[in-house]
Amino acid sequence: MPDGPGTQRAARPASQEPVTAVTVIVPTFNEAPNIGALLERLDAALVGLTAEVIFVDDSTDSTPQVISEIAQGSALPIVLLHRESPDGGLGGAVVAGLKAATYEWCVVMDGDLQHPPELIPALLASASAQGADVVVASRYVKGGSSSGLNGGIRHIVSSASTILTRAMFPRRLRDCTDPMTGYFAIDTSSIDLADLHPRGFKILLEILARNPLRVTEEPFVFAERHAGKSKASFREGLRFLLQLAALRFGRLSSFAVIGALGAVANIAIMAALQAAGVWYLAAAIIAAVVTIIGNFLLQERFVFGDLRGLGHSPWKRFAQSMTFNLSETAVRTTVLWIIVETTVIPSLVAQAVLIAVGFTLRFIFHSRIVYRMERTTSISFDLDGVDGTTEAVSAAESRRAEPGAE
């Protein structure tokens, strides 16, 4: 489990040399109106430091052009990494920036000026004074505020997400009041970037949940956006829930979340069809086909996304998944008919129980068959029988280890 006790390292001495070099990583998505003001404030905030700014850009507007134009006349070194394929979402962009950074200490911040650049010197000073691996800019310590969040709903969602996250990782997050923040400084030599599996926009949670790190915090006031619209959405909320489940319990939990959503949808569709006068068996079949297709698409994106390019083609995966699930549905529907016709158990209750029973079989089949990765090296032996050896399984095969198993 990621939240195990881990090996806690002794704190660095408080007299550690100050951090004098830093890479500022700014993931951007359609932030063109904010770039000029951001770089102007960064230029002032980084005076006295050896610094560079890396923009990791997934924009579909003029943001990369704006960055390039400003970079040409800037005394501050500016690097633009424009990604045509936004793998891993905002978290993937941050990891790409960390890998490209020149300096070990990096500051990660948003490009909308809700994260004040003027706080960067305080983050780095705190890192030296406290001997920390990570310095979190927190909205929830004395002096901090989340006033920049738009509307009461976002305040409630943010607070609830923080409470839930800290409850699920009480050890790893015991020194962090704001694991959902996107503003932090980190010593990249303290983590293995290859171990990160970014899904969406909560990369700090990913880092802290996977690594026993020394964490300290600095308060900050979450400001209102300078321009543009918030990127928060229902899709990002779903990504967060799947990320949380995967970090806590591994790939099985993400599969379970989608399976649960599919089960609820299945029952709802079946109930709606029956209410409209459709025979219960026909309603069950229609509900099953709709949810099977929906579940496959969600699993492709959120559960087995890292395995899609390592084995079968998409159409073969779809065919295998549909064949198994339709077969399982046929068996389940037959059993449903037997139960309803021979017992007093209501059809919806029987359907719910049967869906739960089939969950384990579906996960095993999809994990071991549908998304099975091809070997890239073969097993060979010395035919003389003197030095029999077996070649190592490919690195791709070794990636079967579940993301939440560290």
Asked if residue 359 and residue 224 are part of one domain, the reply reads no
Residue 380 lies in a domain: no
Domain final residue pick, 246, 263, 280:
246
Question: Tokens at residue 119, please?
Answer: 């706080």
Asked if residue 59 and residue 196 are part of one domain, the reply reads yes
pLDDT at res. 184:
96
Q: Tell me which residue of 18, 92, 80, 87 sits closest to 52, measured CA to CA.
A: 80
Residue 59 lies in a domain: yes
Asked if residue 263 and residue 167 are part of one domain, the reply reads no
3-state DSSP assignment of residue 131: coil
Asked if residue 201 and residue 76 are part of one domain, the reply reads yes
Asked if residue 187 and residue 330 are part of one domain, the reply reads no
Taking the C-alpha atoms of residue 151 and residue 156, their distance in angstroms, rounded to an integer, is 9
Domain final residue pick, 224, 246, 268:
246
**219: which strand partners?**
138
CATH number at residue 123: 3.90.550.10
Instruction: State the sign of the Cα–Cα–Cα–Cα dihedral 177, 178, 184, 186.
Output: positive
Residue 2 lies in a domain: no
Range of the domain at 304: 250-370
pLDDT at res. 88:
76
Domain final residue pick, 193, 219, 246:
246
Residues 76 and 48: beta-carbon distance below 8 Å: no
Rounded (10°) angle between helices 280-302 and 314-342: 150
**105: which strand partners?**
187
Asked if residue 195 and residue 280 are part of one domain, the reply reads no
Asked if residue 263 and residue 163 are part of one domain, the reply reads no
Residue 7 lies in a domain: no
**Count of domains for the chain:** 2
Question: Tokens at residue 163, please?
Answer: 């409470």
Asked if residue 261 and residue 236 are part of one domain, the reply reads no
Residue 324 lies in a domain: yes
Residue 149 lies in a domain: yes
Asked if residue 182 and residue 293 are part of one domain, the reply reads no
Residue 116 lies in a domain: yes
Taking the C-alpha atoms of residue 303 and residue 252, their distance in angstroms, rounded to an integer, is 8
Question: Tokens at residue 339, please?
Answer: 């139960």
Burial of 56 by CB count in 10 Å (0-12 exposed, 13-18 middle, 19+ buried)? Answer: buried
Question: Tokens at residue 226, please?
Answer: 């300078």
Q: What is the DSSP string of 48-65?
A: TSEEEEEEEE--SSSHHH
Asked if residue 254 and residue 215 are part of one domain, the reply reads no
Asked if residue 165 and residue 80 are part of one domain, the reply reads yes
Asked if residue 277 and residue 201 are part of one domain, the reply reads no
Q: Is the pTM of this model over 0.85?
A: no
Ranges under pLDDT 50 in the chain: 1-11, 14-15, 226-228, 230-233, 375-406
Residue 270 lies in a domain: yes
Residue type, 346: P
Burial of 308 by CB count in 10 Å (0-12 exposed, 13-18 middle, 19+ buried)? Answer: middle
Q: How many residues does the chain have?
A: 406
Q: Which long-range contacts (CB under 8 A, 24 or more apart) does 324-327 make?
A: 324/362, 324/365, 324/366, 324/369, 324/370, 325/288, 325/292, 325/295, 325/296, 325/362, 326/288, 326/289, 326/292
